[in-house]
Amino acid sequence: MLRYTIPATTANLGPGFDTLGLAINIYSEFQVTSAEKDVFYIHDWQDNLLSIDKSDNLLNKSLLEFADYYQLTLPSIEIREKLKVPLARGMGSSAAAILGGLTAGAIATGILPAKDDFVEMAVKLEGHPDNVLPALFGGLIINYSDQERIFYEKIEIDPELNFILVIPDFELKTSELREILPKNVDYSTVLFNMSRVALLVKSFLTKDWQLLENAMQDKLHQPFRSAKIPGFNKIIATAYAAGARGAALSGAGPTILAITDKNPEKIAGAMCATCLDYGIKAEYLIAKADNQGLYNQLEELLK
């Protein structure tokens, strides 16, 4: 039996819609064992067994993609997946399932995919690279592409920072959330986000946390998507009032991210209380960045 873990992620980081994503040290757990036939035990973050069959789940789709990519037949395996983040809340649960399935394929066959090949398979399955790349390589990942392929650049994140994730008890589907967005934006919106992206990269690289409040602002997706979350602006204001350095949607929401170097419990509690004022039950997680990612583990496992 081989075990591995996959970090959760917070993508669309601040102004970095589809561009910046970050891995956090909340790890979904996987076990892979050889078996007589394929069996997938998928437990959600509250330990409920979601599925034991292989129909239409991302683990299986990812295994099939692996087999297809390398043009081979996979031996039967048992996978146990224990999610540590909720589904469809903007914390990378899909990325975890996809990377978990691809890694199971690698373990079952003994093939260690080159990094670029792993990225190609994962992005094909996920559609967008800003969740899978940080989960794969850790840290903050800038993804960019030309007409042919995807590239990425990693920035390690200081362990001093806490990432607070306030998780409302309702789901938002990313696919529907894409349809809310306009097709085009004007130059002033572009300049707004570009300048904040520059600030955000400077903030993380120079550890200047005072920049984060401006650096985490966004006009590309948050104004449209946050309308689905009652009291959103008030929850963000509460985070700042309680001492947060930066705050924004996590992924496509509804999870709300706050960043702080101090008093994360106090900030998280205040945000959840404001959620309740608007009739939203919310839980919170407090994490640090994960600067390792999955790929390093896979190299160790297949050595």
Q: Site residues (CB under 8 A) for a second copy?
A: 15-20, 142-144, 151, 153, 155, 181, 183-187, 189-202, 205-206, 211, 214, 220
Smaller CB separation from a second copy, 50 or 198: 198
- φ, ψ dihedrals at 132, nearest 5°: -70, -35
DSSP SS3 for 85: coil
Smaller CB separation from a second copy, 189 or 292: 189
The minimum distance between CB 270 and a second copy, in angstroms, equals: 24
The minimum distance between CB 141 and a second copy, in angstroms, equals: 10
The CA distance from 275 to 272, in Å, is 5
Long-range Cβ pairs for the range 265-271 (8 Å, 24+):
266/242, 267/164, 267/239, 267/242, 267/243, 268/164, 268/166, 270/238, 270/239, 270/241, 270/242, 271/164, 271/166, 271/235, 271/238, 271/239, 271/242
The minimum distance between CB 115 and a second copy, in angstroms, equals: 17
Smaller CB separation from a second copy, 171 or 186: 186
Q: What angle do CA 41, 124, 14 make, to 5 degrees?
A: 90
The minimum distance between CB 124 and a second copy, in angstroms, equals: 18
Q: Which helix (H) or strand (E) holds 98?
A: helix 93-109
Residue 126 corresponds to which tokens in the numbers above?
Answer: 């996920």
Smaller CB separation from a second copy, 74 or 181: 181
The minimum distance between CB 176 and a second copy, in angstroms, equals: 17
Smaller CB separation from a second copy, 34 or 145: 145
